């Protein structure tokens, strides 16, 4: 059999050390299964695109190519299209951010901005502080640059300032170099929580004192259900924050347009790093968004999304309330996610094969910690399934959890999987 035929990778000795930190996320493996029609997926974070006026989007793109095709299909500026950067200022003004178009770097989704900031700041072994739990996609970037991620305690009001100070003091005493604090302040992925207003200046003050740059990742900030957006941390500090925004959740993720706003010198580095990675973000995607924003009621569209997600949040919380008294969960007032804590001793990852058999999917909490903790938690998203499906998904999930609890009572303590589940492989992309 050839080396290829044996599926041994002939290049495995050649890979750079940093690839050791590049592993498929648990969410990626889930997509293959969760997209089957019979499964209620409470796993993915996909915006509900049927709520977008597709005719208007189609007209925008068609007209754009017909009238400005030479520019839209050409290479563009490494920093991003000037018209879009102006529009981004309007969007950020809703969160109290005053910036100049020159401070904005357009990226291929905010995911690329996460990559650029990490590339510009992190040497192997540098510390990035992050909420516990943290967005899985950011953890993937951080580990691919060999950062040491240290989680900081977070509660229902977000990151705890006293815990942050304590962590920094201990790390500094141990001689560690702390470069960044990564935070998702609004409608957190995966926790569903929002950083309390009074904590924001406290956190900035602590970071400023210790010369730690705050990486404020805010794709959900405009998706609050019951109130106007809160002031971003960037609105309180121009020099101490790199702010990331995105059109993925408020418009459409397929266009892959996000942005970073950074202090002047940092912005220069981000543009150079982006040019070396992608030359320039897509002109077509950027111009589609700026034309759409000019000609359509985008604030109204965000309102449509907010109302839709609020209804689904209510469906999920209502179903959890009536069907899962054994568990506890967060109460998001915006965004896509609920963070559920299982009864003591249950392990969400071990439970996943049974849940998939019962046609419901979630993301196990361990995906959101760099240190392998989080087994007692899971992330449930309510953004994509309709309310009836959400209730059905929670009903199935409650059945799985109840069965696990019964098994624990019947079998020896410490066994969270049914005997019949042991050895069941969770089908990832390689095992569809
Ligand atoms: N940050 C957070 C917290 C996210 O939830 C996501 C998407 N799930 C991203 C960044 C990346 O979004 P995008 O690249 O689509 O802008």
Please check the confidence at residue 378 and state whether its pLDDT lies above 50.
yes
Q: How would residue 1 be classed by pLDDT, with cut points 50, 70 and 90?
A: very low
Q: What is the pLDDT of residues 245-260, one digit of tens each?
A: 999 999 999 999 999 9
Tell me, using a 6 A CB cutoff, whether residue 44 lines ligand 1. no
Which residue has its alpha carbon closest to ligand 1 atom 5?
Answer: 189
Sorted by sequence, the CB contacts under 8 Å of residue 348 that are 6+ apart come out as 342, 362, 364, 365, 366, 375, 376, 377, 378
Q: What is the pLDDT of residues 31-47, one digit of tens each?
A: 677 778 999 999 989 99
Q: How would residue 177 be classed by pLDDT, with cut points 50, 70 and 90?
A: very high
Please check the confidence at residue 377 and state whether its pLDDT lies above 90.
yes
**Position in ligand 1 atom list of the atom nearest CA 336:** 5
pTM: 0.93
Which pLDDT value is given to residue 430? 30
Which pLDDT value is given to residue 36? 86
**Position in ligand 1 atom list of the atom nearest CA 257:** 16
Which pLDDT value is given to residue 280? 98
Task: Determine what percent of the chain is predicted with pLDDT higher than 90.
Answer: 87
Q: What is the pLDDT of residues 58-110, one digit of tens each?
A: 999 999 999 999 999 999 999 999 999 999 999 999 999 999 999 999 999 99
User: Separation of 409 CA from ligand 1 center, angstroms?
Assistant: 40
Which pLDDT value is given to residue 332? 98
User: Separation of 110 CA from ligand 1 center, angstroms?
Assistant: 6
- Mean pLDDT, all residues of the chain: 92
User: Separation of 218 CA from ligand 1 center, angstroms?
Assistant: 8
**Position in ligand 1 atom list of the atom nearest CA 258:** 16
Q: What is the pLDDT of residues 270-327, one digit of tens each?
A: 999 999 999 999 999 999 999 999 999 999 999 999 999 999 999 999 999 999 999 9
Tell me, using a 6 A CB cutoff, whether residue 184 lines ligand 1. yes
| Mean pLDDT (whole number) for 157-184 | 98
Please check the confidence at residue 155 and state whether its pLDDT lies above 60.
yes
Which pLDDT value is given to residue 7? 78
Tell me, using a 6 A CB cutoff, whether residue 332 lines ligand 1. no
């Amino acid at each position: 059999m050839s080396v290829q035929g044996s599926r041994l990778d002939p290049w495995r000795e050649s890979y750079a050390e940093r690839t050791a930190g590049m592993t498929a996320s648990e969410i990626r493996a889930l997509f293959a299964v969760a997209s089957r029609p019979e499964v209620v997926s409470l796993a993915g974070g996909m915006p509900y695109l049927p709520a977008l006026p597709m005719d208007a989007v189609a007209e925008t793109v068609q007209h754009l190519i017909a009238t400005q095709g030479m520019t839209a299909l050409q290479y563009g500026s490494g920093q991003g299209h000037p018209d879009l950067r102006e529009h981004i200022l309007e969007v950020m003004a809703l969160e109290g951010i005053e910036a100049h178009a020159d401070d904005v770097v357009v990226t291929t989704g905010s995911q690329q901005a996460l990559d650029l900031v990490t590339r510009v700041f992190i040497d192997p072994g540098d510390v990035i502080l992050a909420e516990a739990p943290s967005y899985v996609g950011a953890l993937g970037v951080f580990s691919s640059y060999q950062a040491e991620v240290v989680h900081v305690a977070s509660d229902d009001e977000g990151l705890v300032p006293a815990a942050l100070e304590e962590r920094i003091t201990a790390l500094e005493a141990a001689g560690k170099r702390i470069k960044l604090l990564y935070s998702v302040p609004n409608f957190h992925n995966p926790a569903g929580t929002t950083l309390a207003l009074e904590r924001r200046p406290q956190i900035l003050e602590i970071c400023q004192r210790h010369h730690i740059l705050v990486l404020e990742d805010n794709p959900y900030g405009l998706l609050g259900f019951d109130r106007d957006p809160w002031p971003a941390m960037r609105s309180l500090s121009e020099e101490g924050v790199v702010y990331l925004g995105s059109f993925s959740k408020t418009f459409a993720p397929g266009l892959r347009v996000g942005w970073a706003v950074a202090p002047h010198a940092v912005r220069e580095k981000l543009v150079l790093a982006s040019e070396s990675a992608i030359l320039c973000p897509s002109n077509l995607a950027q111009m589609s968004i700026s034309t759409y924003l000019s000609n359509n009621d985008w604030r109204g569209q965000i309102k449509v999304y907010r109302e839709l997600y609020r209804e689904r949040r209510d469906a999920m919380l209502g179903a959890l309330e009536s069907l899962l008294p054994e568990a506890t969960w967060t109460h998001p007032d915006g965004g896509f996610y609920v963070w559920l804590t299982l009864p003591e001793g249950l392990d969400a990852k071990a439970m996943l094969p049974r849940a998939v058999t019962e046609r419901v999917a979630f993301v196990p909490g361990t995906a959101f910690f760099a240190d392998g903790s989080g087994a007692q938690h899971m992330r449930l998203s309510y953004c994509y399934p309709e309310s009836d499906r959400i209730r059905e998904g929670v009903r199935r999930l409650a059945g799985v959890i109840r069965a696990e609890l019964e098994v624990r009572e019947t079998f020896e303590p410490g066994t969270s999987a049914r005997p019949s589940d042991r050895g069941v492989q969770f089908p990832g992309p390689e095992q569809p």
